[in-house]
Every structure is written in structure tokens, then in C-alpha cells.
């Protein structure tokens, strides 16, 4: 930041200065930008800036150098890794995707987060993914979205109290089997949260 910009910022009203800080990632301190990355692919989901979510393109502009990430599996913390500055994916079919190269990608690593807090404050349970009650629930959900006779395959079911209110939520990751056969590499599977 130029000195003249800093002086101008100092003379703004506090609410206006705060709005500029949110709107312009270049003016936000590095420690306030918390990017979230998918460990195995390096896909940059986005980041939070001062507790506000920003998409990956904006996040990449605000991440100017290497960051330290905490690596998480589905049920446990898996240590730390260095993450490089985001860059466009080298995968041809995903060239519009931004990725972060991590110094360590543990086999069970799922999410990398550059933040000081514990992103797994409550216990996560992995449930049996073949339970008929959940297959039926996903099939019914897909029917409401206009998919006739869906062939549901549940990849995983997790139970965890997401928001800390004492009630556990169920997260279901599933695919519609025939759609998966045609899926491109950049397509995303279905995720359902049961509150």
C-alpha cells in the first residue's frame, strides 16, 4: 500500500474504512485472510476475510505469498503444510480452477485451512453408507429435483453437530450412478445435509 493511501484511509470515517477493508482484499492484513483448500486436488474453494466469505478468484488476489495450512481429515487433524500462492490449475479440463500446491498431502487429508482456530471442535462419526434409510432419503431428494428413478450410490455419511447447538446433523455425500458415469473431472458430487 502506498503511504498516501494509508493516510487517506486513516482520515475516513470508521464504517467507510471498514467497508473498504472488506471490499478490497489488497488492504486486508495477511493474517485476516483464511483460505480453504481441498487437500488432494489443491482446489481453492475461497477464503474468509474478516469473517466474510469470498470466492476463489478474489481470495487468490488477497493471498500474495506462501501460507501455513492446518490439514484435516474427515475425523481428525493431520498436522500442517505450507501452501504456495494460488495459481490456475494445470489440468486442461479444469483450467478455470485455482489451485494451491501443498508441501504435504496426507492420504486421509480432506481440507486445508490457513487459520489459527481448531476447525474440528466436535467429534465426527462415520456411519455405514449402505443404510437403506439414507439411500431412500437421497432418492426422494433427487426426485424432488426432477431426476426420475435415480440410481443412488452413497459415498459417505458423517454425523456431527455442525453448529454446536447440541443436535447432531447428518451429512450425506452421494452420486446419481448413471450421471457419475458421464461426469466430467470437474463435476461435483451431491452433498445433502439433514438438520
Is 92 a binding residue for Ca ion by CB under 5 A? The answer is: no
CB of 164 to Ca ion, least distance (A): 7
Number of residues this chain uses to bind Ca ion (CB under 5 A) = 4
Is 165 a binding residue for Ca ion by CB under 5 A? The answer is: yes
CA distances from 83 to 8, 19, 24, 80, 100 (A): 33, 28, 22, 10, 6
Is 163 a binding residue for Ca ion by CB under 5 A? The answer is: yes
Q: Identify the three-state secondary structure at position 56.
A: helix
Is 161 a binding residue for Ca ion by CB under 5 A? The answer is: yes
CA-to-CA distance for 113 and 44, rounded, in angstroms? Answer: 10
Is 124 a binding residue for Ca ion by CB under 5 A? The answer is: no
CB of 172 to Ca ion, least distance (A): 15
Cα of 154 vs its chain's centroid, Å:
20
Helices (H), the chain: 3-10, 14-23, 56-62, 132-144, 177-182
Whether the CB-CB separation of 98 and 83 falls below 8 Å is answered with no
CB of 166 to Ca ion, least distance (A): 7
Is 167 a binding residue for Ca ion by CB under 5 A? The answer is: yes
Is 121 a binding residue for Ca ion by CB under 5 A? The answer is: no
CB of 127 to Ca ion, least distance (A): 16
Amino acid at each position: 500500500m502506498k503511504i498516501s493511501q494509508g493516510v487517506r484511509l486513516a482520515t475516513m470515517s470508521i464504517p467507510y474504512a471498514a467497508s473498504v477493508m472488506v471490499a478490497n482484499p489488497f488492504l486486508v492484513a495477511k493474517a485476516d485472510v483464511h483460505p480453504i483448500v481441498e487437500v488432494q486436488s489443491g482446489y481453492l474453494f475461497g477464503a474468509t476475510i474478516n469473517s466474510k466469505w469470498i470466492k476463489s478468484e478474489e481470495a487468490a488476489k488477497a493471498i500474495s505469498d506462501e501460507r501455513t495450512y492446518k490439514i484435516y481429515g474427515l475425523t481428525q487433524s493431520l498436522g500442517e503444510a505450507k501452501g504456495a500462492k494460488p495459481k490456475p490449475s494445470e489440468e486442461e479440463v479444469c483450467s478455470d480452477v485455482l489451485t494451491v500446491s501443498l508441501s504435504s498431502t496426507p492420504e486421509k487429508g480432506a481440507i486445508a485451512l490457513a487459520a489459527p482456530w481448531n476447525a474440528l471442535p466436535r467429534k465426527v462419526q462415520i456411519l455405514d453408507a449402505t443404510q437403506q434409510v439414507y439411500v431412500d432419503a437421497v432418492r426422494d431428494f433427487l426426485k424432488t429435483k426432477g431426476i426420475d428413478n435415480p440410481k443412488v450410490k452413497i459415498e459417505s455419511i458423517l454425523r456431527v453437530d455442525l453448529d454446536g447447538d447440541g443436535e447432531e446433523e447428518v451429512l450425506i455425500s452421494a452420486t446419481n450412478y448413471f450421471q457419475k458415469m458421464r461426469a466430467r473431472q470437474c463435476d461435483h458430487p451431491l452433498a445433502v445435509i439433514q438438520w
